[in-house]
Structure 1
Amino acid sequence: MELAKHADAVELLLKGRNLDGYEIFVSQSRDLSIEAKQGQVDAFRAAEPFGVAVRLKVGDGLGFSYSTSMDPAALAMMVDGALVAARMQTQDPGYTLAAPAISYPELPWLYDPELPAVDEELKVARVLELERLVLATDPRVKRVRKCSYGESVYSSFIRNSLGLEKGYRGSYVTCSASAVAEEGGDAQSGWDFAFSPSFSGIDIEAVAKGAGSKATALLGARSIPGMRCPVVLDNHVAAGIVELLAPSFLGEAVHKGKSLFMGKEGEQVFSELVTLHDDGLLLDGTGTAPCDGEGVPQRDTPLVTAGVLQGFLYDSYWGKKAGKSSTGNAQRGGIKGAPRGGANNLMIDPGQASLETLLAGVERGVLITEVMGMHTANTISGDFSVGASGFYLERGEILYPVKGMALAGNLMQLFKGVDQVGSDLRFFGGAGAPSLRIAELEISGS
């Protein structure tokens, strides 16, 4: 792999240094983003970020530094900086480097070799067509806030002093649209997106339809009085709540006493209908890769099976602290930071029920399609109180759109209250879920 030669150059600088271990990480990508507004290209940005990072071990100290240049002076400064950091740092026997793996998963679909050859005019045409399609979904869709196209072709390479060496490349394409619908003095917005490792994997008609229909669906929304009732969370809202749970599944949070699930392994924490896992090998997943940021093979890790807590996610450091192996969950947010724990593709398994089936069992309740302020939930206690909008239901039928609601409760109780799981699993970034029906939640209305 071409990036290996950059690792060679850094390795030469490490020879003769008083080290107890080293890790070299090299990353390079070619990124493109295009935005359209009112039938014209509003923004066109291209970038080719490159960088190399090292982690150097001296005794039980581990120092990190990086460089975005392969200039020998810049590399020497990077190595010196990491050495100083390793010597100055508080000694910690938890600092460790990943051992080489016997094998790595094969993910041939991760890279689309045709993407770099697609003409840029076709990419511009795609985002302009997306805007046209959004406006054509419904006469009430009056404008498009933004339509965007993004892509990246990326490569990573990692090598360490224990003999680990792994490189891979990948690609992805995204499209998104934000629409505004207006009627009778009321205005509502709707958003949708698509993600794929390949150019041909994006369905812009589905994105346009999603954004347009979400905007028009909430027109004429009313207030309702407060009540305690069954609640159906659509897959977008459910995925947002799954994302909120992610930190509680990390070994770091457990060790620091900041996890909802601390000390609950083997216990029934959710409804037996809920199975949740982190699949680092998921087909077309945004967090999928053959290895994590330390070179550990990614895998599918069970976290909650039929409601019972199975375990947690670890990188090498927090795994060693807990006496566990890394689960392949060390992530790098770019070249400028050392790897740290994170979920790859966190998901609830789908059930058998269609959204219609979930609604059918509700005598009087609400379907929630949007929540505001979910990030304010207390991820240690699990308590939340958020704004919400959606639809009022009676006898399984949607009667009218609703706004100005507040949902309150506890995340653990919410998941214990799941009495039906939808079949419509969808991912929104690194978290995915089907629609979920909750037996009872507190709704505050007007």
Structure 2
Amino acid sequence: MVNNALNIAQFALERAAALGAGMIEAYLNSGREMTVEVREGRVETMKLARDCGLGLRVMVDGKTGFAFTTDLSREAVENIARQALANASRTAADPYRVLPKPYAGYPRLDIYDPAINQAGEEEKIELARQMEKAARELDSRVNIIESSVYQDAESEVTLVNSHGIAATYRTAFCGLYIALVAGEGEDSQTGFALDYRLRFNELDAAALGRRAAERAVRMLGARPVSTRQAAVLLEPYVATGFLGLLGPGLTAEAVQKGRSLFAGRVGRNVASPKVTVVDDGARPGGIASAPFDGEGVPTGRTELIGHGVLKGFLHNTYTAAKDGVKSTGNGVRDSFKATPEVGTTNLYIEPGDTSPAELIKNTGDGLYVTEVMGMHTANPISGDFSVGASGILIENGTLTRPVRGVAIAGNVLELLKAVDGVGNDLTFFGGKGSPTLRVSRMSISGR
């Protein structure tokens, strides 16, 4: 489709220019998604979706207009060129609305595995079955498989603008997800596991099923502990949840709109010296990796927090122009139906050199948090949170009994500053990841 997409994009530019547009950008995206859900060894649902279209952004005298279409005929493209120009006439002029100029080159990334598309439906269904089977075989107390899912997606992006950028890439990913319940007597506990990869042969369905079952079984018999101040270890999935709370505040857009808890803190300590936060749109193996962003700017590694010090923010072309800096390649767009916003790509906390087992052993007494509930209620602007938590009690450096029915509360910046241990187990959950983090002291509200 590449040559055809480039031809369509070039035609869109020519028509918009002929109608009076100044700067012009054509963004074409074609994609396919597949989801298979298995229950009791049988296919419960199978979904296959395809989408293809063109988004056209034009700028006239500082005014910006946008329109999109799923009809790629010449007549339809001409119509959206007219619509984009009409939309521009209704907006206010903004001198910072500009398009990037061509770059010397883009990072060379290995982000398309043809095996994902070549694998047959039955092979993909079998992965979901294997995951379910492995979970049940691990322990007879696993009595309900709520969901056992295989998913993959592929996408082809073509971007052309009036400054001379003409670029394209193809990407694909695949993944597995399982959620289940283990029960004993009247007690029941949930467990889950997920893994998304760029390589089809890297998926290990059986290991994922066992991991979910272990998470559920280890929590059977959980009960609250007394209210206390103690060290808290955050499992990678939980730590990644807190990182997700930080993500929006690390964008220049949030800062410029007065919605970031990091505003005015560049160059200051905002976390423990053990904490380094990075966004890397060109990370090898990263689910969100691509050679260029939604505006044609090369992706790359941006250190946001380095050894506890706030280094800067994520930018697209617009926020960079406002701040007089260069875009970091974070002009993110989900599809051809939207203009680029500032967003994260592969956002993660860099790992340390200590194993999770060593962190636990060196903790003494504390709580190993494996799940939190209510993270959506946290305030992303102030950073304040109060969430339900469950996990495993740590006594004398050993994991002892399961705990639930407690809450942890505080401020995410204070949490970051109190990190005194970082594991070597960086784990990604989609486009975000973290190793195990140890927080020296937190308030745990129990019975």
Same fold (TM > 0.5): yes
Q: Percent identity?
A: 37
- TM-score under structure 1 length normalisation: 0.97
Contact kept in structure 1, 2:158 and 2:169, CA below 8 Å? yes
1:361-412 CA distance string (max 9 Å, x none) = 2232111110111121112221111111111111111121011111111111
Contact kept in structure 1, 2:131 and 2:207, CA below 8 Å? no
- TM-score under structure 2 length normalisation: 0.97
Supply the distance in 2 between the matched residues of 1:117 and 1:427 (Cα, whole angstroms): 25
* Equivalence for 1:348: 349
Contact kept in structure 1, 2:142 and 2:217, CA below 8 Å? yes
Supply the distance in 1 between the matched residues of 2:218 and 2:353 (Cα, whole angstroms): 25
Supply the distance in 1 between the matched residues of 2:202 and 2:84 (Cα, whole angstroms): 42
Supply the distance in 1 between the matched residues of 2:236 and 2:32 (Cα, whole angstroms): 32
Does residue 297 of structure 1 match 2:309?
A: no
Supply the distance in 1 between the matched residues of 2:346 and 2:154 (Cα, whole angstroms): 20
Supply the distance in 2 between the matched residues of 1:279 and 1:110 (Cα, whole angstroms): 14
Match for 1:101: what amino acid? Answer: Y
* Equivalence for 2:36: 34
Alignment of 1:268-279 (within 5 A): 268-279=269-280
Secondary structure in 2 aligned to 1:75?
helix
Secondary structure in 2 aligned to 1:189?
strand
Contact kept in structure 2, 1:243 and 1:430, CA below 8 Å? no
**What's the offset of the Cα at 1:140?**
0.9
Supply the distance in 2 between the matched residues of 1:344 and 1:402 (Cα, whole angstroms): 34
Q: Which stretch has the larger CA shift, 405-414 or 7-16?
A: 7-16
Supply the distance in 2 between the matched residues of 1:315 and 1:90 (Cα, whole angstroms): 20
RMSD: 1.2
Secondary structure in 1 aligned to 2:89?
helix
* Equivalence for 2:135: 134
* Equivalence for 2:76: 74
- Paired positions, count: 445
Supply the distance in 2 between the matched residues of 1:49 and 1:103 (Cα, whole angstroms): 28
Match for 1:234: what amino acid? Answer: E
Which consecutive segments of 4 or more residues in structure 1 shift more than 4 A?
Answer: none
Contact kept in structure 1, 2:13 and 2:161, CA below 8 Å? no
* Equivalence for 1:101: 103
Supply the distance in 1 between the matched residues of 2:315 and 2:134 (Cα, whole angstroms): 44
Question: Unpaired runs of 5+ in structure 2?
Answer: none
**What's the offset of the Cα at 1:15?**
4.2
Supply the distance in 1 between the matched residues of 2:329 and 2:14 (Cα, whole angstroms): 29
Contact kept in structure 1, 2:418 and 2:439, CA below 8 Å? yes
Does residue 64 of structure 1 match 2:63?
A: no
Contact kept in structure 2, 1:151 and 1:171, CA below 8 Å? yes
Does residue 5 of structure 1 match 2:32?
A: no
1:222-248 CA distance string (max 9 Å, x none) = 111111111111111001111110011
* Equivalence for 1:419: 420
Over 3 Å counting, the alpha-carbon distance change for 1:320 and 1:15 in structure 2 is: closer
Contact kept in structure 1, 2:234 and 2:438, CA below 8 Å? yes
**What's the offset of the Cα at 1:5?**
2.3
Secondary structure in 1 aligned to 2:326?
coil
1:413-442 CA distance string (max 9 Å, x none) = 100001111111101122111001111001
Supply the distance in 2 between the matched residues of 1:98 and 1:15 (Cα, whole angstroms): 17
Contact kept in structure 1, 2:13 and 2:162, CA below 8 Å? no
Contact kept in structure 1, 2:13 and 2:25, CA below 8 Å? no
Alignment of 1:162-241 (within 5 A): 162-241=163-242
Supply the distance in 2 between the matched residues of 1:182 and 1:226 (Cα, whole angstroms): 27
